[in-house]
Amino acid sequence: MPGNSFGECFKITNWGESHGKAIGVVVDGCPSLLSLCEEDIQKELNRRAPGQSEVTTARKESDTVEILSGLFQGKTTGAPISLIIFNKDFKNEDYQDLATTFRPSHADFTYEKKYSIRDPFGGGRSSARLTAGHVAAGAIARKILAEKAGVEMVAYTKKIKDVVATVDVERLTREKVDTNVIRCPDQYAAEKMTALIKEAKEQGDSLGGIIECVVRNVPLGLGEPLFDKIEADLAKAMLSINATKGFEIGSGFAGTEQYGSEHNDPFVVRDGKIVTETNNSGGVQGGITNGMPIIFRVAFKPTSTIQKKQKTVTLEGKEIEVEAQGRHDPCVVPRAVPIVEAMAAVVLCDHYLRNKMLR
């Protein structure tokens, strides 16, 4: 099954199934002599792990990671780094009836038609559980970027349904984001978001939302012409995350309501550096980073699995009604915050290493 790898210089290959024995990722292209241990990766995985609160899935997985290769005496060797996470808490019985039924808005129908076979347990290969591998790989990418270039990134829940957070992105920190289970630094908005998610959960329904990510201290000059623009690779990375339906960078779609004279970012000199006075470009111009913070947003649809009766069909084409069982997030957004950060780190680390090869 192609499409399981991402990146060029820093390449990640994701493997496993939701209810399989284990899931994991292979990271190829990590520079040698990087100090690395399982705790560096585990602290990122803990933020994505299921069963964190009453607004997430009840599935309990510690997501304990093991490093199988690529290390010697606590440092990377330049060889592929293989990471494994064993699955513990899965209930195949919740999915027995779905083996011959296509759940609305899931990958069941498309996987069946493309491959003529699919793993129905927990969604198999199409499950969001596989994003644990993204976060594990992203932890390594984040460490490289932080140590080599001082890059830092922080994402947060900007919107759930129609509740929008008011956040000063210049003062945004991970500590502020992690003060509540919604991962929203606007406490008033977070309370309203929590209430909405609980209400939807009680009704057997689900919600979607928007995550905004800010990347600071971005090296100038990352990105390639035409097809490998930074925003193009960021968009691909973000839209590879389960349940995503939209991506925008900088002013995004709101920029369509401005004149060019309003939208252009004037250049100025501050502290001896050329910067832009505004940042409608979101830190990227011509597909190449301009040294300003990268700011982008990702839209997540409501979770497809809901405990309400819906119309569907069976493998034989019989029209029926289905009410999903199992343990699922009523809203994926809070747990997707570290996934967005991780994939941003993978993209920027890949381009950082590609850029180093040119110099």
- Determine the distance from the C-alpha atom of residue 324 to the mean position of all C-alpha atoms in its chain, rounded to a whole number: 25
Asked if residue 230 lies in contact with residue 347, where contact means CB atoms within 8 angstroms, the answer is yes
Walking along the chain (359 residues) 10 residues at a time, the average pLDDT comes out as 90 95 97 98 92 66 93 98 90 71 92 91 90 98 98 98 96 96 97 96 95 98 95 98 98 97 97 96 97 98 92 93 79 97 98 87
The DSSP symbol for 175 reads H
The pair of structure tokens assigned to 164 is 């929008």
Give the N- to C-terminal CA distance of the chain in Å, as an integer: 36
Distance CA 143, CA 161 (A): 33
- The residues with which 101 forms a beta bridge, in sequence order, are 314
Output the pTM of the full model: 0.94
Q: Name the CATH superfamily, with its identifier, for domain 5-357.
A: Chorismate synthase AroC (3.60.150.10)
Nearest CA to 294 out of 249, 339, 336, 337 is that of 249
Nearest-angstrom CA–CA distance, 234 and 229: 9
Q: In the chain, where are the structural domains located?
A: 5-357
Question: What ranges in 254-332 are assigned the alpha helix state H?
Answer: 260-263
In the chain, what is the greatest distance between 2 CA atoms, to the nearest angstrom? 70
pLDDT at residue 256, as a whole number: 97
Q: What is the pLDDT of residue 176?
A: 97
Q: Is 92 exposed, middle or buried (0-12, 13-18, 19+ CB in 10 A)?
A: exposed
* CA gap 283, 229 in Å, rounded: 12
Q: How far apart are CA 283 and CA 344, in angstroms?
A: 14
Candidates 102, 13, 124, 80; CA nearest to 314 is 102
> How far is Cα 345 from Cα 140, in angstroms, rounded to an integer?
9
Per the CB < 8 A criterion, the answer to whether 213 and 295 are in contact is yes
pLDDT at residue 41 in the model:
98
Looking at residue 61, what is its pLDDT? 73
* Residue 51 zone, left/alpha/beta (φ > 0; ψ -120 to 50; rest): left
